Chains A and B, each alone.
Chain A
Amino acid sequence: MIDQLKEIQQAFTTAAAQAQTAEQIEALRVEFLGRKAGRLNEVLRTVKTLPPEERKTVGAAANAVRLEIEEKLETFLRAAQSSGASDVPAQDLTLPGLPPRMGHVHPLTQVFDELMSIFTSMGFMVYEGPELENDFYNFEALNFPQDHPARDIQDTFFIKTPITRAEKHSFPTDRGWVMRTHTSNMQVRVMEEFQPPLRCIIPGRAFRNEATDASHEFTLYQMEGFIVDTDITIGHLFWTLRELFQQLYKKPVKIRLRPGYFPFTEPSYEVDMSCLFCEQKGCRVCKQTGWLEMGGSGMIHPNVFKAAGYQAGKYTGFAFGMGPMRLAMLKYGIPDIRLFMENDTRFLEQF
């Protein structure tokens, strides 16, 4: 009986060497493993006539042969299919994949996410705050003299309807409500809520009453950031800005601070970054200057600390602001700022 099994094994090996196509392999399977006339089954049918002790050994041996044949058939079949010798149509691997149904996050969200991830890893809190804001937090507390041009009716949207919001702190002066003109409105709100040391960024929406064109939007996005501690210096501001832009653009950049003017910082600085596109050789993007204007910054004005109720002279801090719309335009090569609010899916789906 065992010999018979060896014979079958031998015969299979010989026959298998000839088999190439899937049909030939299938024929082999029928010949050797077929339920009715398979050669192995013929042997197995006689097993029950054997004495019990022999039955066990032969049964095991027969089973081993069956497994071996099955395994080999499987291997041959796979080889036959991949060699193309089969009639079974093979997968065209050059066909495009079936796309999963996915939506897209707005490009500005993506820029904000990057900024937030850089700053939260340095321990900055994220606050967004209200967009409809009292004049006190938007201007007065930020040391905007009452005659500052930014308060002019040209730049600010004023609210006609009476506002009845409950506020945690009463306003020392209440000159009405506006759509916030910058996200700096949160500086004093956050300072009122927390004591230094304080690190905070304020991503969000702001509004300027001006005509829209390819580079101006009346609804704009800003990211304000500030730090308050006992000994914050211009050197810290410098380092933080450089770190930010290097992380954002994933390459070494130079930062240049130059004198500027903002009522809520003293000293105040404009922030320039070495041009990303020309290695400062001068190009169209940087208008041949080698520098890109990235935002404003400065050391927090003592009057802002005063408005927040901080002890005079105890703290110093810096603040900076930048436009994520500009960052996104630089990053993705977006030529027109109006595309952000048009919500054409053919634009949004690119990001």
Chain B
Amino acid sequence: MKFSYSWLQEFAPQLPSTEKIMAELTTHSVEVEGIESGAAYSGVVVGRIEHVEKHPNADRLSVCRVNIGSSVERIVCGGVNLSEGMDVAVATVGARVRWHGEGEPITLEAATIRGVESRGMICSSDELDLSAEFPKKEEREILNLTHLNIAVGTPLAQALGNNDALIDIDNKSMTHRPDLFSHVGMAREMAAVFGVPFVYATSQAIPTGLGKLDIQIDKATGCRRYIGIELNVAVGNTPVHIQQRLQACGIKSINNVVDITNYVMLELGQPLHAFDADRVTGGKIVVRNARVGEKMHTLDKEEKLLDESVVVIADTQQPIAVAGVIGGLDSGVTAQTKRIILEIANFEPVRVRQAAVKLGTRTESALRFEKNPSAELCTVAAARTVELLQQHAAGEVVAYTDLYPQQEQLKTITLTAEDVERLAGVAIPMKDIQELLQRLECQLDVTTAAGVTTLEVSAPWFRRDLNIPEDIIEEIVRLYGLDRITPQNLTGILRVPEHEPELPLVWEIRKKLPVMGLTEVYNYSFYGEELMRAVGFDPKQEHIEILNPLSDEFRYLRVNLLPRMLENIVRNQQHQKQLALFEIGHVYFADREVRQLGIVVMQKTDAYRTVRGIAEQLLRELHVPYTTTLTNQTADCPFWNSYAEGRALRVNAGEAIAGTIAEIHPDVLKRMGIDMPVAFATLSIPVLHAHGGVAPKMKPISLYPAITLDLSIIVDAGLAWSSVESIVRQEAGELLQSLMVFDIFTGGKIPAGKKSISLRMVMQSRQRTLEMKEMEQWREQLMAVFNKQFGVQLRDK
């Protein structure tokens, strides 16, 4: 909200400079976003046209000689209403103007226009952002100031009495302080912060014994108070000083009655509304919930469809305003209005906010009501409005009714000096505490008994946000000065922190996988049907749906990391020939939320074996004992459609399923637009946590040399390596130190339907040196077993 400095000074005459306010208000109260200083129209002065002649080279331009006090300048101008002796606004070289009233302001320079040198510019009202005050009648009309009768050379700001500074306060920083959305409230706050006097004389109370209005408040509307005042008025022009203040705060002037209601809102923070009494059918005001299907034309000239959630002000026939948000067009005050009904009310913040959101209308009124101002404010605002209407609109009160079912109670808060010190960490002298709270208009009752000083604090009516001792301490500390709080080292019982159990495992994985060449990604927790269908997921199965998603693309919560990780591949495949990514993130189910590890590898060959190698290496590093089983497509898993048929391996840890390692189905890759094979591994962090961290038992290192034996065999192409492996392990017993496949080959001399597997075995004994001859004999034996089992041929030695 923008505050006029001069208006604030009216209530706090000794306010410090705007510079000091800028520097210190933020640290003691609310956030100052900026100050628009009195430098408005800098470089623009009043000038008098002494001579006008046609431009020699341009029909639509004139060359003027203009006296600007300090000098006489030649200025080229395109205005149609130029005449000698006319007073105009002259932007001198260096001034900032809005060229032709459009775009961002520019800095004016001397220029040669069609061969004539021109120093300065004679401005139109829109070039100075003054079109509201001085509306143009023609497109190329310049601003005529002759009627103001001001000395040549006077700065324009001074000429217009607009020398004020505007202080812009961040609304968010005062969202809990409804009292600050007004000049009186802000002046009072600044007076307290800077320790200067605050003066506000409330207007004379409205005389009693007048006629009554017919007002009815329906119970379920949450309307806390409704003051209705009927007045006779003379609608007309608004005094200039009121217009200027409204304009400075960004509110358009309409007529004296409407302007006064807005003026009171800016002064006191109470939103008000004036109805044309002759347009209130039946002369009755009803606060009720709207009916389904009811419509209303609002002041912003839109037709709004209402429903039961919206509270309206209605006459006997139809809604005439949306409570606390906006008035109706039909019942508004116009130049023809003779009688008004003034509404000064208090509505429930939630209902006002909801209605404003529903109607898409964020008004100054709604902004204030949703902050929950005090209903007591209505009394002050009613009196002030009547006073101003009497002064400036020939106002005459005819009837007055105040419905206030439940008067607000003031709270008394009790706290001790020790309470303040316990939270603040500094001992603030009681004398200071009292002084600071009194600045805030708190009433104090201080008692000392048995060495304990107790404060009974009664908050003023406009501070409904003060409810508990901590609220009072906050007030004391901020006024005292946060910069006077001494930093205190943390002390306390030393304890080794106990983290959330799975986290240390997550941290370990994040350290290990990059070493294996994987890069970490962070993906959104949501995806949409389109992506789900592309990867073969069923949206109806297992997925949690968001009620109000950002868009359809983010409607469901992920149950697996795969879909977004495939998107990561799509994003990067243009500039990477090989990709290896991992993510650790939450996946969400109705009955649980768990952490999952996902690994994807995209590469031309061996994607599956690469992923498997990484996953298994990780399991070993984490000391998770595991087994693997080949799995066929099953119906129990909604992700199975993502995997290539028969190309998935289940990883088990104990009885639990630790994860899956699989090749991604070519159809999925095709739908995603991925050109290379991709393999994926998913591991469950809770399962790894439950089964991992098994401390390895050390095996003694053999003192005897090892023997390496290579072997190439030709077997059926369909034979699984696991069958070969189990035979080798069984035959070798404890002599086998390691076993690896180093080549698999088909084609060439290998008969069709067969493949060659080359394996390498390292044999070692802990008791003796193995003889080569002995091992070669054993290899023959092994061959015999292979032969018996699979009809194996030896390829070549």
Contacts and interface: CB of A to CB of B under 8 A. Distances in A.
A259 B30 contact: yes
Given A299-B423, A340-B522, A341-B524, A164 B590 contact: yes
B499 A125 contact: yes
A281 to B, nearest CB: 15
Given A103-B516, A123-B496, A219-B524, A343 B568 contact: yes
A348 B487 contact: no
B157 to A, nearest CB: 24
Contacts of A207: 525
B499 to A, nearest CB: 5
B147 interface: no
Interface string A68-108: 00000000000000000000000000000000011111101
B16 interface: no
Contacts of A129: 500
A345 B600 CA distance: 14
Nearest to A106: B520
Interface in A108-150: 108-109, 113, 120, 122-132, 146-147, 149
A132 B568 contact: no
Given A127-B499, A161-B544, A104 B591 contact: no
Given A104-B519, A106-B522, A299 B422 contact: no
Interface string B453-480: 0000000000000001011011001100
B26 A258 contact: yes
B178 to A, nearest CB: 12
Interface in A258-285: 258-261, 266-270
Contact of B546 (A159, A257, A268): A159
A158 B544 CA distance: 11
A235 B487 contact: yes
A239 B488 CA distance: 6
Interface stretch (B88-96, B104-112, B300-308, B571-579): B571-579
A238 B568 CA distance: 42
Interface string B473-496: 110011000110111111011111
23 contacts: A103-B515, A103-B519, A106-B521, A106-B522, A123-B496, A124-B497, A128-B500, A147-B353, A153-B548, A160-B545, A179-B546, A197-B492, A199-B492, A236-B489, A238-B488, A239-B490, A256-B27, A259-B28, A270-B173, A341-B523, A343-B572, A345-B575, A345-B579
A189 to B, nearest CB: 10
B220 interface: no
A126 B139 CA distance: 67
Given A236-B425, A257-B482, A270-B173, 7 more contacts: A125-B500, A161-B545, A164-B590, A179-B525, A231-B422, A233-B488, A345-B572
A344 interface: yes
A157 B548 contact: yes
A199 B557 CA distance: 32
Given A103-B516, A341-B522, A132 B548 contact: no
A349 B27 contact: no
A32 B55 CA distance: 110
Contacts of A197: 492-493, 495
B495 A123 contact: yes
Contacts of B423: 233-234, 267, 299, 316
B522 A343 contact: yes
Interface in B505-564: 507, 510, 513-525, 543-550, 554, 557
B771 interface: no
Contacts of B176: 261
Contacts of A235: 424-426, 485-488
A104 B583 CA distance: 12
Interface string B167-198: 00000010110000000000000000000000
Interface residues of B, number: 84
A346 interface: yes
Contacts of A31: none
Given A108-B522, A131-B588, A349-B519, A103 B514 contact: yes
A165 B592 contact: yes
A209 interface: yes
A183 B353 CA distance: 26
Contact of A132 (B494, B550, B588): B588
Given A219-B525, A261-B176, A342-B571, A103 B518 contact: yes
B500 A126 contact: yes
A147 B517 contact: no
Interface string A168-183: 0000000000010000
A283 B731 CA distance: 75
B497 A343 contact: no
Contact of B520 (A109, A132, A240, A267): A109
B482 A269 contact: yes
Contacts of A157: 546-550
A229 B422 CA distance: 12
Contacts of A102: 514-515, 517
Given A131-B586, A158-B547, A240-B490, A234 B424 contact: yes
Interface of B: 26-31, 173, 175-176, 349-350, 353, 357, 370, 422-426, 468, 470-471, 473-474, 477-478, 482-483, 485-490, 492-500, 503, 507, 510, 513-525, 543-550, 554, 557, 568, 571-572, 575-576, 579-582, 586, 588, 590-593
Nearest to A124: B497
A291 B735 CA distance: 69
A233 B422 contact: yes
A123 B519 contact: no
A42 interface: no
A105 B560 CA distance: 21
Interface centre among B30, B468, B488, B489 (most CB of A within 10 A): B488
A326 interface: no
A22 B423 CA distance: 83
Nearest to A161: B544
B488 A345 contact: no
Given A163-B590, A267-B478, A343-B523, A147 B27 contact: no
A172 B31 CA distance: 37
Interface centre among B370, B486, B487 (most CB of A within 10 A): B487
A346 B571 CA distance: 11
A294 interface: no
Nearest to A256: B27
B25 to A, nearest CB: 10
B357 A152 contact: yes
B497 A104 contact: no
Contacts of A103: 513-520, 580, 582
